[in-house]
């Protein structure tokens, strides 16, 4: 199963995008800003990574039980990069948020995040041990048009 996050033109606070699975739109994404000048959190480098469903130390502590999230493995200079629920840049914790909705009027926000996360997890669990991979593709403003909705 192959996931792709196609990043769109971001703001000073966040990087919006689209997540697809095997070429089919799944949900919207929100990552930290691309600008590295102010230090972390900022978006991870574009590229191809292995994805694994693992226990989230952060969310397991909050929830009080083992909470599984997709973990993006072996990201240079980063630890514990997850895909998880959240709505705004402060929720990213350096990771990638997923949501069902977004609006051009609020580019640093995504909605229905828990529903989008649960739907994504159900889909990923159908892989039943098959390898999971994820690609992050950066926005290229001189060659692409990236509207705020799919």
Neighbours of 80 (CB within 10 A): 15
Domain ranges of the chain: 2-137
In DSSP terms, 2 is beta-bridged to 133
| pTM: predicted TM-score of the whole model, two decimal places | 0.90
Give me the mean pLDDT over the 85-112 stretch. Answer: 95
**Dihedral pair phi/psi, residue 38, rounded to 5°:** -95, 10
Note the pLDDT tens digit of each residue in 27-40.
999 999 999 998 89
Considering only residues 47 and 146, tell me which one the structure prediction assigns the higher pLDDT: 47
Rounded CA separation 45/120 (Å): 22
């Amino acid at each position: 199963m192959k996931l792709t996050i196609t990043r769109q033109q971001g703001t000073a606070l966040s990087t919006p995008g689209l997540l697809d699975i095997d070429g089919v739109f799944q949900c919207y994404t929100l990552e930290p800003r691309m600008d590295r000048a102010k230090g972390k959190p900022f978006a991870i480098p574009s590229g191809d990574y292995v994805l694994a469903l693992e226990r989230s130390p952060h969310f397991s502590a909050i929830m009080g039980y083992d909470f599984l999230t997709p973990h993006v493995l072996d990201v240079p200079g980063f630890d514990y990069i997850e895909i998880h629920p959240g709505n705004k840049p402060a929720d990213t914790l350096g990771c990638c948020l997923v949501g069902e909705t977004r609006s051009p009027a609020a580019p640093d926000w995504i909605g229905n995040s828990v529903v989008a996360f649960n739907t994504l997890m159900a889909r990923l669990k159908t892989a039943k041990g098959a390898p999971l991979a994820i690609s992050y593709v950066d926005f290229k403003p001189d060659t692409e048009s990236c509207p705020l909705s799919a």
